[in-house]
Structure formats: structure tokens, C-alpha cells
Homo-oligomer: A and B are copies of this chain.
Amino acid sequence: MPSAWTQLPTVADLGEQAVLERILPLLTPGRGVHIGPGDDAAVVTWTGDSLVTTMDLMVEGPDFRVEWSTGFDVGWKAMASNLADVAAMGAAPKGVIIGLAMPDTMGISAVEDIARGVSAGLESMAPGCGVWGGDLSSASVVMLSVTVVGDMEGRGPVTRSGATPGDVVAHAGHLGLSSRGLAELLDPGANPALLRETSDAVMWHLRPTPPLHLGPLAALAGATAMMDVSDGLLLDARRMAKASGVSMDFDSGAIPDHHALTGGEDHGLLACFPAGFDVPEGFVVVGRVVDGSDRPGVVTINAEVPSEDLGGWDPYRR
């Protein structure tokens, strides 16, 4: 691990209890928390009549690299990717539960940096949502497990399966920016420290800030289907189209390059709205839902199937 991640003292020098005492004060507390971190479980007052839950694992190697990312970046990005799944149901995130496994050579300052990134990400993308609890463990690589609990707040959940022929398809956020940043970092001559200063795409890849407040707004505006784009527009749109039993046709103008088509990790919101509705401000129309009873799940661009079999992200196939 690079030196920023192993600065002394290490977590082994301190032991679990001292690590907890250092990081707990850095974590944004949740609202309505009756019993917070420190006991066997957290107890939170709940007034909603539904719960929304999602979880995501971020593993050093496939999901992030300590050579490029600071702890702050990793904490922030873990919030972005998980909060996006809650927003994509039209729900409001209320609390997160975080597991961190790490080598015992990791420096406490890197752990504190992750905690600061978690809190800053929550305050930016989900004000009012706090950390309810978590767990620490030991592993040869850094792994972050994040579970988010959200509340529909009386709205109906917006699934992936409600897209209807005639709907417009709209997107809020960036398409391909994270992938462009990743490509810059992967360039053999890249200087990651310099790119952090000079490239918006690189900083977006490391620390994305999707417009997640638009998720509940889209639900209120009558979205028929919604998901966040985490594995690339093509793969995720195919999933939505398949779940809905429809096809989707995208405008080539909305997809300037292969990054926009297949690049993941932007965590913007892809939503369908009935034709004739105004899409909420922040969404851009990028295509339309077409009848797909003969070929559900097919995604075209200007009515043509993309010529190559461009895939998307699969953790077991690279």
C-alpha cells in the first residue's frame, strides 16, 4: 500500500477499541437514533410505514485502487454508489451501516480519512442521513461494505419494471465521465497526483456526486421506472428494458462516445416518464421506450443495435 495508507500508527498498534474511539467522533450521527454505535445493535425511531434497504461491497482491486484513491475518496464513493440505489427507488436515505475490513498494517490516519469521506459524502448527497453502526475486521485487502436504509416517505417505489412503450427515457447526471477519468488514470504515462489537480473526469471517477435529490422528485413526477447507472448505460438500460418487457431506443446525440455507452460508476439516474409529461429539471431526455414484446431487453441507438457486443461491468469477468 502507498505510504498515505500506512502512516504510523497502524491499526495493529492501536487495537480495535482505540481505532473505534478515533473514528466514531468523525462519523455524522443519524437523526432519531436512540442507541448509536457501541452497543450490540443500533436502535432508531422509525415513523415510516416502509423500509428501503440496499447494500454494496467495495473491494480494493476490482472496485478501487489505493494507488489512486485517498481514504476520503473511498468513503465518499461508497456513499455515492449506495445512496444512488436508494434514490433510484424514489426513497430518502436515513441511515447507513458500514463494515470495514483492512490489513493490520493500515494506518489509523487512512481509516480516519475514510470516516471523513463517508461523513462528507452523506452531508453532500443525503443531508440528514447518518451512520447508525458497523463493524471492523481484518483482511489482506481493504473492503468496505455499506448498507443503506431509506424511507419511501409515502411515495410509491419506482422499480425497473414499469417502463411502458411511448414513455420518454431521461437521465440525470453524467454519462461516461467516470469512465473517461478511469481511462486517464490507466494511461501508462499517467501521473495520478497531477491528474487529481487537473482533470475533472479523474476527480469525478474518484469522488462522484450524482444528483440524488432528483430520485424522490422523479417519483413524485410520475416516473414509471428508474435505476441508477452503475454498470454502464447499455447494460443497465438492457436490464431495465428486460425487466419491463420492452425495448429502448436512445438518441445517438446523447451518447457521444463509448464511455457514455458502456462506462459505469457515474451513478446518475435513468428514468422513464409518460410521454407528454415534463421531465423534472435536471433530467435530460435521451431516448424512448418502444414496443418490445418480440424482443424484450433490446436496446438500440437511433433504431440500430450497437454494432459491437459492448458489455458492461461483471465482477467475475474482466
Contact = CB atoms under 8 A, between A and B. Distances in A.
Interface string A203-232: 000000000000000000000001110000
B133 A39 contact: no
A180 interface: no
Contacts of A161: 39
Contact of A51 (B11, B39, B43): B43
Contacts of A100: 57
Interface in A11-61: 11-12, 14-17, 19, 34-35, 38-59, 61
B145 A55 contact: yes
A150 B41 contact: yes
A132 interface: yes
A55 B316 contact: no
Contacts of A140: 61, 140-141
Contacts of A45: 49-50
Given A46-B48, A97-B147, A145-B145, A132 B89 contact: no
A130 interface: no
A101 B84 CA distance: 21
- Chain A, interface size: which category? 35 or more
Contacts of A12: 316-317
**Copies per assembly:** 2
B136 A315 contact: yes
B149 A51 contact: yes
A243 B12 CA distance: 24
Contacts of A19: 316
Contacts of A54: 40-42, 97, 133
Interface stretch (A152-160, A251-259, A282-290): A152-160
Contacts of A14: 316
A143 B143 CA distance: 9
Interface in A111-166: 132-141, 143, 145, 147-150, 152, 157, 159-161
A86 interface: yes
Interface string A236-279: 00000001000000000000000000000000000000000000
A15 B160 contact: no
A53 B42 contact: yes
B41 A91 contact: yes
A228 to B, nearest CB: 6
A292 interface: no
Given A39-B89, A136-B315, 14 more contacts: A15-B314, A35-B157, A39-B161, A39-B243, A40-B85, A45-B50, A51-B51, A55-B99, A56-B99, A104-B315, A137-B315, A138-B315, A141-B141, A147-B147
11 contacts: A12-B316, A39-B89, A41-B91, A43-B50, A43-B89, A45-B50, A55-B134, A57-B99, A57-B101, A61-B140, A145-B147
